[in-house]
């Protein structure tokens, strides 16, 4: 595969690439550059984690990139996830690995690494301290939005470690590419600045789209000075909000109920979560979306691309009820293999039950 084809695959991943010129240079000089994506282990897997992330990882792998999946257990601990219980957090981390397997990630081509293992090494903490020495307190506080926190919240001093550790991770893992969500751009920008100052390897940032929750677009909440990005972060699907999230364990009835209650105004594509799921998931996983409906409502319809679907919906020939039906059935078909894996594999089932139990009692 030539450089342009590899670059095209990574463009499918990155809604923002900083910078594309640097990325092209990396691809020209390395057949298998390294990238990482990091995850706080907390809660049950939803669409962004269990379906969208594997799609993105697959594109990166096809582009010849070696992926490092960073299970950020200490970050979840600092961020008080799972009640601040590190053992429960690590159990969720093992469950996350099982989700990736079930979603079809080729685990032979990725490295699964844990923050808790790095934390045993003195050199890791030297990186953290070096990053902190080259950052200001104000910059660290602004970067706390990467942990899903705003300046309006009462924060613990321990949470100031979060951005310093995340930036240090990039250099500890020795990656060429940071492949994270747009909500993580502050850490990546800081890493690029520190790399220049310290003469360390400067990472390329590939920021992917954040999937919207079923509630639709929300008002900015103070995550970023850029109001459009702030609203995108505020609107993202959250594992902690069951009614605005779809989980990889939801059955067809639950998916249909949630989708039917989703924000879906007639003829409006922009800010419509069901249009988003079609664009970023359904037409990336399935060849088409078929919608069965009576002749009096126009008869059954089949769409072979997102653009075709969006045009029909914006033009009014596709009703919100039709879109909801097509999206719920398509998502159910995509999620079913993951759901089945956890139903049939005893080890996977035990992990799922443990995480579900922890969610119910914390």
Tell me, yes or no, whether 200 and 328 share the same domain: no
Specify the 3-state DSSP secondary structure of 232.
helix
Is residue 235 in some structural domain? Answer: no
Tell me, yes or no, whether 178 and 296 share the same domain: no
Report phi then psi at 204, rounded to 5.
Answer: -80, 140
Q: Which residues of 159-186 are buried (b: 16+ CB within 10 A; e: fewer)?
A: bbbbbbbbbbbbbbbebbbbbbbbbbbb
- At which residue do the structure tokens 């081509």 appear? 109
Number of structural domains, the chain?
A: 2
Q: Provide the 10 A C-beta neighbour count for residue 241.
A: 12
Specify the 3-state DSSP secondary structure of 113.
strand
The total number of residues written for the chain in this structure: 362
Structure tokens of 139? 């910059």
Tell me what pLDDT residue 362 has: 43
The strand pairing partners of 179, in sequence order, are 206
Tell me, yes or no, whether 70 and 174 share the same domain: yes
Tell me, yes or no, whether 205 and 250 share the same domain: no
Tell me what pLDDT residue 296 has: 80
Tell me, yes or no, whether 180 and 294 share the same domain: no
The residues, any chain, with a CB within 8 Å of residue 38's CB and separated by 6 or more, are 69, 70, 71, 72, 75, 166, 169, 180, 184
Q: For residue 210, which of 234, 173, 181 has the smallest C-alpha distance?
A: 181
- At which residue do the structure tokens 């779809």 appear? 246
Per DSSP, the residues of 153-195 read: S---GGGGHHHHHHHHHHHHTT-SEEEEEGGGHHHHHHHHHHH
Q: For residue 48, which of 230, 222, 189, 240 has the smallest C-alpha distance?
A: 240
Tell me, yes or no, whether 127 and 62 share the same domain: yes
Q: What parts of the chain have a pLDDT lower than 70?
A: 146-155, 220-227, 359-362
Tell me, yes or no, whether 8 and 74 share the same domain: yes
Tell me, yes or no, whether 176 and 245 share the same domain: no
Tell me what pLDDT residue 233 has: 75
Tell me what pLDDT residue 156 has: 72
Tell me what pLDDT residue 154 has: 59
Structural domain span for residue 65: 3-209
Tell me what pLDDT residue 142 has: 79
Tell me what pLDDT residue 117 has: 95
Structure tokens of 329? 């059935």
CA separation for the pair 277, 233 (Å, rounded): 16
Q: Provide the 10 A C-beta neighbour count for residue 210.
A: 22
Tell me what pLDDT residue 206 has: 97
HEC sequence for 204-224: EEEEECCCECCCCCCCCCCCC
The residues, any chain, with a CB within 8 Å of residue 55's CB and separated by 6 or more, are 280, 281, 284, 285
C-beta separation of 89 from 82 below 8 A? yes
Eight-class DSSP state of 103 = T
CATH code, domain with 247: 1.10.240.10
Tell me what pLDDT residue 361 has: 45
Tell me the Ramachandran region of residue 216: left when phi exceeds 0, alpha when psi lies from -120 to 50, beta otherwise: left
Give residue 218's Cα distance to chain centre: 18
Tell me, yes or no, whether 184 and 319 share the same domain: no
C-beta separation of 37 from 224 below 8 A? no
CA separation for the pair 8, 10 (Å, rounded): 5
| Beta strand residue intervals within the chain, DSSP E | 16-18, 34-39, 66-71, 110-114, 177-181, 204-208, 289-291, 301-303
Tell me, yes or no, whether 204 and 249 share the same domain: no
Tell me what pLDDT residue 220 has: 65
């Amino acid at each position: 595969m030539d450089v342009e084809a590899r670059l095209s695959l990574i463009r499918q991943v990155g809604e923002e690439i900083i910078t594309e010129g640097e990325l092209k240079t990396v691809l020209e000089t390395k057949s298998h550059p390294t990238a990482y994506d990091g995850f706080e282990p907390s809660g049950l897997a939803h669409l962004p984690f269990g379906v969208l992330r594997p799609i993105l990882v697959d594109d990166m792998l096809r582009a010849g990139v070696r992926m490092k999946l960073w299970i950020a257990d200490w970050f979840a601990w600092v961020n008080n996830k799972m009640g601040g219980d590190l053992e429960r957090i690590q159990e969720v981390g093992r469950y996350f690995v099982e989700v990736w397997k079930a979603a079809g990630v080729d685990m032979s081509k990725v490295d699964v690494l844990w923050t808790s293992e790095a934390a045993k090494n003195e050199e890791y903490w030297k990186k953290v301290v070096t990053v902190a020495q080259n950052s200001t307190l104000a910059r660290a506080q602004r970067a706390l939005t990467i942990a899903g926190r705003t300046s309006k919240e009462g924060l613990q001093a321990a949470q100031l470690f979060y951005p310093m550790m995340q930036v240090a991770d990039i250099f500890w893992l020795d990656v060429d590419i940071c492949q994270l969500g747009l909500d993580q751009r502050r850490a990546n920008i800081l890493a690029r600045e520190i790399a220049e100052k310290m003469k360390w390897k400067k990472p390329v940032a590939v920021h992917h789209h954040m999937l919207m929750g079923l509630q639709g677009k929300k008002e900015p909440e103070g995550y970023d000075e850029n109001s459009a990005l702030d609203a995108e972060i505020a609107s993202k699907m959250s594992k902690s909000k069951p009614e605005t999230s779809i989980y990889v364990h939801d059955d067809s009835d639950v998916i249909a109920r949630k989708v039917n209650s989703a924000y879906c105004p007639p003829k409006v594509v922009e800010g419509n979560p069901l249009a988003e799921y079609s664009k970023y998931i359904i037409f990336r996983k399935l060849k088409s979306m078929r919608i069965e409906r009576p002749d009096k409502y126009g008869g059954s319809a089949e769409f072979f691309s997102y653009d075709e679907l969006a045009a029909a919906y914006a033009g009014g020939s596709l009703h919100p009820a039709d879109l909801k039906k097509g999206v719920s059935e398509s998502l159910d078909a995509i999620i079913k293999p993951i759901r089945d894996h956890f139903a049939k594999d005893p080890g996977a089932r035990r992990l799922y039950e443990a995480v579900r139990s922890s969610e119910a009692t914390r």
